[in-house]
Amino acid sequence: MAAAPGLPSATPKALNVFVAQIDAFARQMRDERGLSPVTIATRSERLVWFFSGLCPLGIR
């Protein structure tokens, strides 16, 4: 599976549980809402930051 726009190519293992959700959200923003790639990348990146705060790297 390809990473969602805005996701770093090497995501920490703690974020792996959220990659599918971020990817689905990115597809919905692109396919159903017609948002620009820049908007999708920005929102995806913000979700990565949010989820990384929920799952510190030491917790798996």
Mean pLDDT of 23-29: 95
Stretch 14-27: mean pLDDT: 84
Tens digits of per-residue pLDDT, 35-48? Answer: 999 999 999 999 98
Query: With contact defined as beta carbons under 8 Å apart, do 39 and 4 qualify?
Result: no
DSSP state of 55: S
Note down the domain range covering 49: 13-54
Q: Is 47 a member of any domain?
A: yes
Q: What is the pTM of this model?
A: 0.64
Q: Which two tokens stand for residue 34?
A: 């017609």
What pLDDT, on the 0 to 100 scale, is given for residue 10? Answer: 46
Task: Give domain status of residue 1, yes or no.
Answer: no
Residue 35 lies in a domain: yes
Q: Cβ contacts of residue 18 below 8 Å, gap of 6+?
A: 47, 51, 55
